[in-house]
């Protein structure tokens, strides 16, 4: 008697198609993983031009997932999705589906802004030629900062009379597509790539070792730093423009002034500072075209403002003077920034971005590297501190990767730091 043969189970062809926002995600080369229910086998394939990944597996229950990351116009865009209910039969006529969720975040953020000056070695007053800004790549992908620009809004101080506020207490440009940039807009003059979880330091005035003049200040004479140079700006003749030979010429920035003056005027107690994304050529065009000027702040070249496009703003910090908060008004519109961070100037304090605790702790490479009990804020002197409790600089020194908060609320994103992060 011949025993009956059991049907042989053979692999079958299976397709998995990606979708996003209800439409096919037609991108070639996106990795897709397919795992069996027992977790004993995982297969990987890449999508074709239609966004379809093809597998050859045994019938059974599977789960599929896909992650795709890309940098677009200064944003880190991540697409993530899964399907845990895939039942592969002997014949599968339609592709199985994965719906991808789209998550956007800015790659480049203002990590720290120092502008208030510090105590002099002797006597009263403060030393204030040592301003700088740190731009940080808040992602796990290299960021192209070549077209990054720097500026601030009128009025120079948050507590100054604001001619842009109408009779109802609203900004006249709240529902417009621009904000009033003052003074000048600065641009890089060479290609700038910032690696993942890394930063660049830009000296605003003196690219020198300021500690030689004021020990509480900072050393900005570093070959890796950049400098807002006056070398190509004839009207900027103020003596505070000085640079060390350590900073290479290709690390010089240039500006396109539209206000009269012998230096860029950055408030030393309450600026509305921003970074934007704009080509050098476009920057020069909008700063030189009087048709793009707004005269609300003044009809002469002392008060002219440039209508800087909101769509080009990629980061902002609204700073109020700690002693003038009640007199202050927001300069950024609510679609760019809400809230403010207060600071006391002339103390050597900086505005420093808070850590995104949940996102930073979730990075697997940070295990055992995060340093807690942060004590660098000024909460003890009527200031603020980082609510995450993570000491970002100590953690970075220990090899951790930091992800900073991005809520577009300066009051939640920043705190007043006692000492510049450059002094460690």
3-state secondary structure the chain: CCCCCCCCCCCEEEEEEEEECCEECCCCCCEEEEEECCCCCEEEEECCCCCEEEEEECCEEEEEEEEEEEEECCEEEEEEEEEEEEEECCCCCCCEEEEEEEEEEECEEEEEEECCCEECCCCCCEECCCCEEEEEECCCCCEECCCEEEEEECCCCCCCCCCCECCCCCECCCCCCEEEEEEEEEEECCCCEECCCCEEEEECCCECEHHHCCCCCCECCCCCCEEECCCCCCCCCCCCCCECCCCCHHHEEEEEECCCCCCCCCCCCCCEEEEEECCHHHHHHHHHCHHHEECCCCCCCCCCEEEEEHHHEEEEEEEEECCCHHHCCCCCCCCCCECCEEECCCCCCEEEECECHHHHHHCHHHCCCCCCCCCCECHHHCCCCCCCCCCHHHHHHCCCCCCECCCCEHHHHEEEECCCHHHC
- pLDDT of 297 > 80? The answer is yes
Pick from 100-104, 124-128, 165-169, 346-350: least confident: 100-104
Task: Say if CB 120 and CB 40 are below 8 A apart.
Answer: no
Would you say residue 4 has pLDDT above 70? no
Q: Pick from 227, 178, 337: which is nearest to 273 by CA?
A: 337
pLDDT value at position 302?
A: 86
Across 69-73, 208-212, 238-242, 310-314, least confident range: 69-73
- pLDDT score of 3 more than 90: no
What mean pLDDT, rounded, does the chain reach? 94
Asked if pLDDT for residue 84 goes beyond 90, the answer is no
Strands 226-228, 143-144: pairing is: unpaired
Taken in order 135, 138, 144, 148, the sign of the CA dihedral is: negative
Global pTM reads 0.84
pLDDT class for 55, splitting at 50, 70, 90? very high
Residue 101: per-residue pLDDT: 84
Q: What is the CATH number of domain 12-105?
A: 2.60.40.10
CB 306 within 8 A of CB 286: yes
Domain locations in the chain? 12-105, 107-352
| Whole-number pLDDT of residue 102 | 81
Q: 33-37, 56-60, 143-147: which range is least confident on average?
A: 33-37
Are 17 and 96 contacting, i.e. CB atoms less than 8 angstroms apart? yes
Q: Say how many residues make up the chain.
A: 424
Tell me which of 145 and 9 has the higher pLDDT: 145
- pLDDT score at 39: 72
Average pLDDT rounded to a whole number, residues 302-315: 95
Asked if residue 28 has pLDDT above 70, the reply is yes
Decide if pLDDT at 341 tops 70: yes
Residue 239 has pLDDT above 90, yes or no: yes
Please give the share of the chain, as a percent, with pLDDT higher than 70: 98
Which range among 100-104, 278-282, 283-287, 292-296 shows the weakest confidence by mean pLDDT? 100-104
Q: Is the pLDDT of residue 7 over 70?
A: no
CB contact at 8 A, 68 and 103 = no
What is the Cα–Cα distance from 136 to 404, expressed in whole angstroms?
A: 9
Span 359-415, pLDDT tens digits: 999 999 999 999 999 999 998 887 999 999 999 999 999 999 999 999 889 999 999
Residue 5 has pLDDT above 80, yes or no: no
Tens digit of each residue's pLDDT (9 = 90 or more) over 183-207? 999 999 999 999 999 999 999 999 9
Is residue 115 within 8 A of residue 204, CB to CB? The reply is yes
Is the separation of the CB atoms in 158 and 328 below 8 Å?
yes
Compute the distance between CA of residue 206 and CA of residue 194 in angstroms, rounded to an integer. Answer: 23
- CA dist., res. 155 & res. 171, Å (int): 12
Enter the tokens of residue 412: 């939640």
State the pLDDT at residue 6: 62
- State the pLDDT confidence band at 233, using cuts at 50, 70 and 90: very high
How wide is the angle at C-alpha 317 spanned by C-alphas 314 and 318, nearest 5°? 135
- The tokens describing 358, both together, are 């949940």
pLDDT value at residue 57: 95
65-82 residue pLDDT tens? 998 888 877 777 888 888
């Amino acid at each position: 008697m011949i025993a009956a043969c059991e049907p042989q189970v053979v692999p079958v062809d299976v397709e998995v198609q990606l979708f996003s926002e209800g439409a096919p995600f037609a991108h070639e080369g996106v990795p897709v993983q397919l795992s069996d229910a027992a977790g004993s086998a995982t297969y990987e394939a890449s999508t074709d031009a239609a966004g379809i990944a093809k597998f050859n597996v045994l019938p059974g229950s599977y789960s599929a997932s896909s992650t795709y990351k890309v940098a677009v116009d200064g944003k880190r865009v991540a697409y993530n999705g899964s399907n845990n209910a895939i039942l592969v039969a002997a014949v599968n006529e339609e592709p199985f589906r994965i719906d991808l969720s789209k998550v956007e975040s800015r790659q480049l953020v203002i990590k720290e802004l120092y502008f208030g000056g510090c105590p002099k070695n002797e006597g009263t007053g403060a030393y204030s030629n040592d301003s700088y800004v740190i731009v940080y790549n808040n992602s796990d992908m290299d960021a192209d900062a070549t077209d990054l620009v720097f500026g601030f809004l009128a009025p120079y101080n948050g507590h100054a009379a604001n001619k842009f506020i109408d009779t109802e207490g609203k900004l006249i440009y709240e529902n417009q597509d621009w904000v009033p940039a003052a003074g000048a807009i600065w641009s890089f003059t060479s290609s700038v790539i910032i690696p993942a979880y890394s930063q660049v330091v830009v000296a605003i005035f003196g690219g020198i070792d300021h500690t030689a003049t004021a020990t509480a200040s900072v050393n900005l004479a570093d070959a890796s730093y950049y400098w807002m140079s006056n070398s190509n700006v004839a009207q900027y003749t103020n003596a505070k423009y000085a640079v060390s030979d350590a900073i290479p010429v290709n690390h010089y920035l240039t500006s396109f002034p539209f206000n009269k003056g012998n230096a860029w005027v950055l408030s030393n107690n309450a600026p509305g500072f921003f970074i934007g994304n704009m080509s050098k050529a476009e920057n020069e065009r909008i700063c030189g075209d009087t048709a793009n000027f707004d005269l609300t702040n003044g009809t002469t070249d002392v008060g002219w403002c440039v209508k800087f496009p909101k769509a080009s703003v990629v980061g902002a910090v609204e700073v109020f003077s700690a002693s003038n908060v009640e007199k202050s008004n927001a300069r950024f519109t609510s679609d760019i920034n809400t809230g403010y961070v207060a600071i006391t100037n002339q103390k050597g304090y900086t505005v420093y971005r808070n850590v995104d605790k949940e996102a930073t702790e979730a990075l697997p490479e940070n295990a055992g590297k995060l340093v807690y009990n942060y004590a660098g804020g000024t909460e003890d002197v009527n200031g603020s501190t980082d609510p995450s409790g993570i000491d970002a600089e100590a953690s970075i020194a220990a090899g951790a990767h930091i992800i900073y908060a991005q809520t577009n609320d300066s009051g939640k994103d920043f705190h007043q730091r006692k000492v510049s992060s450059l002094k460690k």
